[in-house]
A and B are shown apart, each in its own frame.
Chain A
Amino acid sequence: MIDQVEVNQQLMFDGESDEKQFLTFMMHDEEYGMDILAVQEIRGWEPVTTIPNSPNFVRGAMNLRGTIVPIIDLRMRFGINAIEYGPLTVVIVVSVQIKDQQKIMGLVVDAVSDVYSIAEEKAKDVPDFQDSDNAYFVHGLVNVGQKMVVLLNLEKVLDLSDKSGLKG
C-alpha cells in the first residue's frame, strides 16, 4: 500500500517527492506564497461594489462572470498600511474550502511574483512570535535562494467568521 503511494508520488512529481507548487506575490516588500492549486485566475484591479458594514479588509464584491465574489485586501487583513492601488496591483482569485463550503474569493496584493516548487518538509515552522496576530495566518516559512517566503494558510486567511486573527 505504502509502496503504491510512493510510486504515485514519484510519477506525479517526476522523482521529487512531496513537492508542491506555490504562487508567490509581493506585499509590503515581503514575498508570500499560496498553494497554486487554489488559484483560479489573476486579474487586474477594478473598482468593486462596497458591502455595507463589512470589516475594513473586505473591499467589496465583484462580478466574476456572473458569480458574486468578495474581494479582500490582504494588506488590511494583515494589518499592514493600505497603499494606493497601482498598475501592478492584482486580484488573485482563489477557491478555498471553508467549513464544508467551497468559496471563491479575490485577494488584492501588491504584485504577483513567481511560481516555486517547494518540498513540504522544507517549510520551517513559524518562529514563536506571540505578539503578532498574523502568525495565525502563516502556514510556514521557507527559503528560496536568498529570499524567505511566507507560506499562507488560505483557509484561515479567508475564514471571515473566525475573528481570532483580526486586527481592529
Chain B
Amino acid sequence: MSIDLSQFFDVFFEESFEGLDAMEAELLNLEPGKEDSETINTIFRAAHSIKGGSGTFGFVSVSDFTHVLETLLDQIRDGQRTLTAEHVNLLLKSVDCVRGLLGALQAEEEPDLSESNELKARFEAILGGESAEEVEGESQEDTTQSLQSTTYQIDFKPEPHLFKTGNEPLYMFSELAELGQLEVAAFHDGIPDFLEFDPEDCFLHWRFFLTTSKPEQAISEIFEWVEDDADIKIEACGGLFEDDTNATAEINTPEAADLPEPITVTEESTPEIKAEPAPKADENIAAVQKKVESAKNTKKSADSTATSIRVGIDKVDSLINMVGELVITQAMLSQIGDQEITESSIAALQEGLTQLAHNTRDLQENVMRIRMLPISFVFSRFPRLVRDTSQKLNKQVELKLVGEQTELDKTVMEKLSDPMVHLVRNSLDHGLETPEERIANGKDPVGTVTLNAFHQGGNIVIEIMDDGKGLDTEKIRSKAIANGLISESDDLSVEEVNELIFMPGFSTADSVSDISGRGVGMDVVRRNIQALNGSVEVTSKQGVGSTFTIRLPLTLAILDGQLVQVATHTYIIPLISIVESLQIDISKVSKVGKGLEVLRLRDEYIPILRLYDIFSHQGAREELDKTLLVVVESDNYKIGLLVDDLLAQQQVVIKSLEANYQKVDGISGATILGDGTVSLIIDISGLIKLSGLRRPGSTELLVDLKGEEAEPV
C-alpha cells in the first residue's frame, strides 16, 4: 500500500472521541417521544463517521459494532421505529463501549469484545423484533461464516471526477477484500491520448468477482459514498463460478468482448490505484496494524504530556490580524529609520513605537488566552454522570451548570476533573435524599446539584452545591471519635467538625456502594487539589444542603488589576474583588474589640485593614483621612484595605511566586509591570486570615460585623 495509514490514526482517534462526546451530549438531550430529527441526525452522523473511519483503518471491531448502532438510528431517523428510553440507555452504553474499544485500539491493546458483543446482541434483538429483513441481514453478517457463499459480479465504473471528490477506490477495494474472496480486473480502455490525459481524472474502471457470505447490502454499503460519482452494478452470479480463476476467464463473454484484455494488477500506469487480490489486502491491513503498534509503542510515553488543544477559529483569526498589524507597524518604523532625522520624523517614530507597544501587548494577551479553555470542557461530562448515578440511586436530580464560560488554564483543567467527579458523586449519594424523604421534608422531590464556576481574584472558584440534607455533624463527630481522629473531650465548632470529612479514612456512609463510601475519598480530593496549590472547603447546613468550594490559582492567567501604592511599594488588587474605593469619613470610623477599626458605610460595617501594618512596611501614610480605602469582597465578606494611593488599572500576567520561593500569606502571585519590576498580587481571603479576622477553617469573621441595624432583612 502506498499510503501509510497509521499517520492518520491520531486524527481518527481524536475525531472519533469528539464524535462520541457529541453523541453523548445529544443523547442526553433526547427525550423519548420528544426527539427532534436534527438531534437524531447529529447522533447518526457521528456514528456514521466513526463507522466509516474505523472501516477505512481496518478497526473491524469498532466498525462492526457501530454498524448495528447506525442501523437502529437510521430506523429511528426514518420514523420506522419510535425512540424509547431503553434505546437511549442502550445507545449511551454503546457510546461508552465504543469509547473503550477505541481507547484500547489507541493504546494498541486487544480490545475486549465481550461487552460490545453483548450490546450488539441486544441491539439485534431490538432490530429483530420488527424487521424481518433486518434480522436476516444482521444474523447472516455476524454469525454465519459457514452459510452458503455467493459470488457477486460488481462493475465499478467511476466518473472521471472521482478523485476530486476525495474518494480513494483503493480503500473500497480493500474493504471489499475483507468481505471474502476477491478477484479484480481493471480496464484501461478509457485512457485518452496523452495530450488529453488529465492526471487528476480517473479513466480506469474495474470489475470484481467477490465470493462472500455477506449480504449484498454489505457490498453496496462500501460504495455508498461514491454512488453518485460512479456507475455501479452489483449482480449475484449464483454458484456459477466456483473457481475464481475460471471467473476471470468467463467474463470475457458477450458484454465484455468488446473490452480490451483486463490489465494485470501491477499495471504501471496505475501505480497508486492498483487493486490487489484479497489475501494480499489482508496482509496489508495486518501490516498497517503492526505499524500502528510500533508507532504507538514509541509514542506511548509521550502521550500523556503531548496533547493538543482546540483553539477557536476566532482566536486564531484575531491573532493573525494582530500579526498583520505588527508587520505593518514594523514596516512603518523601518521606513522612518531610513529617512533623515528631522523633528517630524522623531514625532512619527514616537508614534510608531507607541503603536508597536500596543500591538505587542495585544498579541501577548491573545497568545496567553489561547491556553485558556472554558470550564465547560470539564462540566460537559457531568450531565451524563448525574443521569447514570441518579438512576442507579433512584433519586431525581436536576443538574444546573453556571459559569460554563469561565476560562482556566488547560493543565489545571485536566487535573481538576477527577476531584470534581468525586465531589459530585458524593453530593448525589450522601447529599441528596430520596424523593420520598424529600417530600416528607417538604422539599421538591427533584433535588438540585449546581456546579458554579467563577473567577475571584487570582483564583478560579468552583462550587458544587446540593440542596440535600447537609452534613450530619453529630454523625461525623461520633464517627471521628470511633475512628480515633478526635477524642471525646475535644470541643470542636461545626466548621471544624465538617473539616473532619477531609481526613484520611473517613466515611459516614451507612453502606458502602460502588458510587462512594469507601472512605478513600475526600482526603484524596483534598490532596489532589492541594497539589494544584488550591484549597477545598465545605460549608453545610443541616436540612438545607452543602456546598463544596474548590479554589484554584490560575497558574497562567491574565487578571485585571488595580495597582495601589503602599509606602514605596506597589501592589495589585484583583479588580474583580474590588467593590469601591473611597476616602474615609473619620466620623464614621469606630473601634471595636482589640483596636480593630470599622467604617460604617451605608448599612454595613467594614473592618479596616491597614495594608502597611499587615505587610510590615515602614513609611506609609497612617492618618485615615489622608489615605484611601479600597473596599473588597471575598467569601461574601467585605473588608476595606487602607492604601496610600490608587495607581493605574491594567491587565497583568500572573506569575508564580512559589515556583522559586514559597507560599507567601496574603499574596496570590506576582507579575511583571511595564517597567520590568516585580509587583505582588494581593490574595484577599489570605489577607483576611493573615489579619486574624477569621479563624482558620471557619467562614465566619471573628468580629460580629453586622450590627443590629445592619442585620439583613
B-binding residues in A (CB < 8 A): 47-54, 58, 60-63, 66-70, 103-105, 160-161
Contacts and interface: CB of A to CB of B under 8 A. Distances in A.
Given A61-B661, A66-B672, A49 B655 contact: no
Interface of B: 569-570, 614-617, 655-657, 659-662, 664-667, 670, 672, 676-680
A168 to B, nearest CB: 15
Given A63-B672, A68-B656, A69-B660, A50 B679 contact: no
A52 B660 CA distance: 16
B502 to A, nearest CB: 23
30 contacts: A47-B677, A49-B678, A49-B679, A50-B569, A50-B617, A51-B661, A51-B664, A51-B667, A52-B615, A52-B664, A52-B667, A53-B615, A53-B616, A54-B664, A60-B678, A61-B657, A61-B670, A61-B678, A61-B680, A62-B678, A63-B676, A66-B672, A67-B660, A68-B656, A68-B660, A69-B660, A103-B659, A105-B660, A160-B662, A161-B662
A100 to B, nearest CB: 13
Contacts of A70: 660-661
A104 B678 contact: no
A66 B680 CA distance: 14
A52 B655 CA distance: 17
A52 B618 CA distance: 11
Contact of B670 (A53, A68, A105, A161): A68
Main secondary structure of the interface of B (DSSP, over half): loop
B415 to A, nearest CB: 17
Given A61-B670, A68-B657, 8 more contacts: A49-B570, A49-B677, A51-B667, A51-B680, A52-B616, A53-B615, A54-B664, A66-B655
A60 B616 CA distance: 14
A8 B358 CA distance: 54
| Residue with the greatest number of chain A CB neighbours at <10 A, chosen from B617, B664, B678 | B678
A96 to B, nearest CB: 10
Contact of A68 (B569, B570, B616, B655): B655
B660 A53 contact: no
Contacts of B680: 49, 51-52, 61
B655 A67 contact: yes
A50 to B, nearest CB: 6
B677 A52 contact: no
Nearest to A49: B678
Contacts of A63: 672, 676-678
A160 B664 CA distance: 12
Contact of A48 (B655, B666, B678): B678
Nearest to A60: B678
A104 B657 CA distance: 11
A104 B569 CA distance: 23
